[in-house]
Amino acid sequence: MKKLLPILAIAISAVAIPVHGQTRRIPDDARRAEIGPIDVSHLAVWSQTTRLAPGTRILDRDNRYITPSAVPDGAVARLRYNNDSSLRDIWLLTDVEISRTDPQPAWPKP
């Protein structure tokens, strides 16, 4: 059994290293905005209250799902809306993603 532990550790690290280095794919139609938390069903987008769609996916900088209350105030994100103007997908951007040029221009502050 003790001989298998180093082999198992190498196998796990070999799988984990490529996953850590992968970049995430954010759709081109997602637009950049500054957001912050309001309550469980709303976020502030450029300081304006915006409703979250049922099942809204919010991914943090490490690509983990988070709740609306865990969104930091003033976070830079890329957003996608439903047809009824509710938010459906949110990606909190890393510093590297913020420095890149977006395919869509950022929404201006109202």
Tell me which residue has tokens 């984990």. Answer: 16
**Amino acid found at 13:** S
Give the Cβ contact number of residue 18 at 10 Å. Answer: 8
Query: Which tens digit of pLDDT belongs to each residue from 62-110?
Result: 999 999 999 999 999 999 999 999 999 999 999 999 988 776 666 665 4
- Domains belonging to the chain, first-starting first, are 29-110 (2.40.50)
Task: Answer positive or negative: Cα dihedral of 48, 52, 56, 58.
Answer: positive
How far is the C-alpha of 19 from the C-alpha of 24, rounded, in Å? 10
Q: Specify whether the CB–CB gap between 54 and 89 falls below 8 A.
A: no
Query: Which tens digit of pLDDT belongs to each residue from 32-57?
Result: 999 999 999 999 999 999 999 999 99
